[in-house]
Amino acid sequence: MIFYPDNTLVMAPLSGYTDLPYRRSLRRHGCRYAFTEMIDAGSLAYQNPNAPQMLTRGADEPWLGVQLVGADEAMLLKSVEVLNSYDFDLLDFNLGCPVPKVAKKGAGAVLGRNTDEAARLLELLVRHSRFPVTAKTRIVSEDDPAPTVKLAKALENAGAQTLTIHGRIKERIYSGPVFHEIIAAVRENVKIPVVVNGGVTDRASWENALRASGCTVAMAARGAMGNPWLFEEVRNPDYQPPTTDELAEEIAVHIGDMITFYGEESGCKIARKIFLDYLRGRGYPGALRNRVSFLKNRADLNEILETVRRR
């Protein structure tokens, strides 16, 4: 099954970021294919009270995937049972997250290096999920494509319908070169679609990722943080960056949505990192960024946005 048309840029699931307000910001700028935040299987299995909010799908969302991370069979089965009561277009199994709190549970990128167990658990999801199942993982070696190809084939045989591969090993986290040639080797050795991931920050890097990997679809992650306009840029060769007023307006709408979604106090607290992402790399002084770190209410938001507009 082909989920993404050629030359599509997909938005990755980002823990702590890709909630409903975040996705609506992306969709205002041309993103169709997006995911919930990465969901820990234990959170669903133990009925974490925040889980329903993390899984909320807007009535205006044309397509939405959910991503699950975990390595415990019982928890994965319970979590799939919960997810089956929701409305998603696919279920993605995370085998690439490198952060310590995931790694110490033997999940994410750690599980992605245990080929047999990763394939066994993915096959379990395939059997119990009412949604098509895909997987997102990382290259296993920078020098030798064989281990990554072996993993990809095992996941394909287990029932994965698409693979997304981040072109950096676990130890590199999110920095260093992206090894597109390893992803190209995987693409040549499996029959299912392969999506290239890693280092997509603008139109040029998106084009390079597709060309170097031979893939027809790429996935963006950190490159879209504070930059929902990335989805416009890859579609339009004549793209122009947002003006100061456009930047301020997007921040206002995005954080206003967060306040509506979470309530003023919680929404403003969660929004601080989002606001800082929008300002990063755009020449705003440290004093302004410091003010954002103490954002508490709508009045603060409006006051800071006035400073943003005066730049």
The pLDDT of residue 86: 96
- Helices marked H in the chain — which ranges? 20-27, 41-45, 51-54, 73-83, 100-103, 109-112, 115-128, 146-158, 180-189, 203-213, 230-235, 244-262, 264-279, 286-292, 298-309
The pLDDT of residue 46: 87
The pLDDT of residue 266: 97
Residues of the domain holding 39? 8-235
- Domain of 276: which CATH number? 1.10.1200
Domain boundary among 190, 214, 235: 235
Using alpha carbons, select from 26, 92, 50 the residue that is nearest to residue 228: 26
Helix (H, G, I), strand (E, B) or coil at 15: coil
Average pLDDT, stretch 20-47? 96
Give yes or no: 97 in active site: yes
- Domain of 147: which CATH number? 3.20.20.70
Give yes or no for residue 267 having a pLDDT over 70: yes
pLDDT tens, 153-180?
A: 999 999 999 999 999 998 887 888 999 9
Task: Identify residue 193 by its one-letter amino acid code.
Answer: P
Please tell me whether residues 83 and 222 are part of one structural domain: yes
Please tell me whether residues 57 and 87 are part of one structural domain: yes
- As a whole number of angstroms, the distance between CA 88 and CA 91 comes to 7
Residues 6+ apart with CB under 8 A from 179: 139, 142, 167, 168
The pLDDT of residue 49: 83
Please tell me whether residues 257 and 153 are part of one structural domain: no
Predicted confidence band of residue 71 (pLDDT cuts 50, 70, 90): very high
* Lowest mean pLDDT across 114-128, 168-182, 200-214: 168-182
Please tell me whether residues 188 and 254 are part of one structural domain: no
Q: How many CB atoms lie within 10 A of CB 27?
A: 19
Give yes or no for residue 2 having a pLDDT over 70: no
**Whole-model pTM?**
0.95
Predicted confidence band of residue 310 (pLDDT cuts 50, 70, 90): confident
Choose, from 31, 97, 215, 268, the residue flagged as catalytic. 97
Residues 6+ apart with CB under 8 A from 183: 139, 148, 165, 167, 194, 196, 213, 215
The pLDDT of residue 216: 97
Average pLDDT, stretch 249-257? 98
The pLDDT of residue 1: 58
Residue written as token pair 């603008």: 202
Q: What percentage of the chain has pLDDT greater than the value 90?
A: 93
Predicted confidence band of residue 33 (pLDDT cuts 50, 70, 90): very high
Q: What are phi and psi of 151, to 5 degrees?
A: -60, -45
Give yes or no for residue 219 having a pLDDT over 70: yes
Helix (H, G, I), strand (E, B) or coil at 162: coil
